[in-house]
Amino acid sequence: MAITRFRHRTLAVVGLAAATALALSGCTSGTSGADGASGDAAGDAKITVGISQFVQHTALDAAAEGFKQAFIDAGYVDGETVVFDEKNANAEVATATTIAQTFATDGADLVLAIATPSAQAAAQNLADVPVVFTAVTDPVAADLVASVDKPGGNITGTSDMSPVADQIALIQEIKPDAKKIGVVYGSGEVNSSVQVELARAAAKKLGMEVVEATVTNASELMQATESLGDVDAIYTPSDNLVASGIGAIVGVAEDKGILVVGSDSTHVEGGAAATVGIDYTKLGHQTGEMAVRILKDGEDPATMAVETSKDTELTVNLGAAKRLGVELPAELVDRAVNVIK
């Protein structure tokens, strides 16, 4: 798939559903415990950074890569002055808890928690270790921080709150006669419930209504999408189950000729027609910069405000739109930052 216009890069096809085997052994860049070579910005001692990722899919993978790159950009040397101990919960809350407990026992210097369930597990099990999170939509609703301005504990990070109102408006721009929007999301994810509430409010202002279907695992996505019935468009929120199984939703939409608008670019890579969303690599890098300030400069997570993405990008997928039976307005395509052919 080619990318044209302002930015030339290849967007990856969205990741497959999470592997069934648990990955507690992690994917470590080196061994911890010994002093290593120093980087100009990193200091002399080797540090260990635990990374707890809730599930494998493109957005969360990108956030992890951006986070690690921030350390390299700050002068740390991977495997020498910093060791990344990466573990994946494969969408199991119990496994996320075990991962957090493992990091506490092993004495990680800092932990990155990627996605709300992993962040909640870290917050509950890592009282004495600084924790930063990313890909968390509403850290207050998830009981991670006291407030976004003053988190008040040992945990802070970045929110991936999507511009939901803009995304719902995008549906109307593409399909002006749309009246009913279908939304499928995981029933156990606080971040998803928050987004659905925002979508419902935004749709009401534009004279549309939202029809919901919830799932408890990715295998239910196809049936849930079919249960939406006669909808004019489908909106896919930033939900881990949705992201890991976006193909199931898109497949139903293609069969029925229904517009799909996603909440981030990985959904568009996976077959949605368009989004106004954040760049998860940049969000992860922003989180890594916060982590560096904690480790290098001694900043206190309790007083570090939760940050949000500094910019959004319009991404469209011309091939996906055609498969969904939708013609994207020329003006929309013209102003897109990323155009997937």
pLDDT in tens, the chain (341 residues): 333 333 333 333 333 333 333 344 344 333 333 333 333 444 457 999 999 999 998 899 999 999 999 999 999 999 999 999 999 999 999 999 999 999 999 999 999 999 999 999 999 999 999 999 999 999 999 999 999 999 999 999 999 998 999 999 999 999 999 999 999 999 988 889 999 999 999 999 999 999 999 999 999 999 999 999 999 999 999 898 998 999 999 999 999 999 999 998 889 999 999 999 888 999 999 999 999 999 999 999 999 999 998 778 999 999 999 999 999 999 999 999 999 99
Distance, in Å, from the CA atom of 206 to the CA atom of 211, rounded to the nearest integer, reads 15
Torsion of CA 64, 67, 73, 78, to 10 degrees: -60
pTM for this prediction? 0.74
- In the chain, the N- to C-terminal Cα span, in Å, equals 6
Structural domain boundaries of the chain?
Answer: 3-159+279-308, 164-277+313-340
Residue with tokens 């700050």: 74
Look at residues 85, 203, 59 and name the one whose alpha carbon lies nearest to residue 137. Answer: 59
The CATH class that applies to domain 3-159+279-308 reads: alpha beta
How would DSSP label each residue in 70-93?
A: HHHHTT--BTTTEEEEEEE-TT-H
The CATH class that applies to domain 164-277+313-340 reads: alpha beta
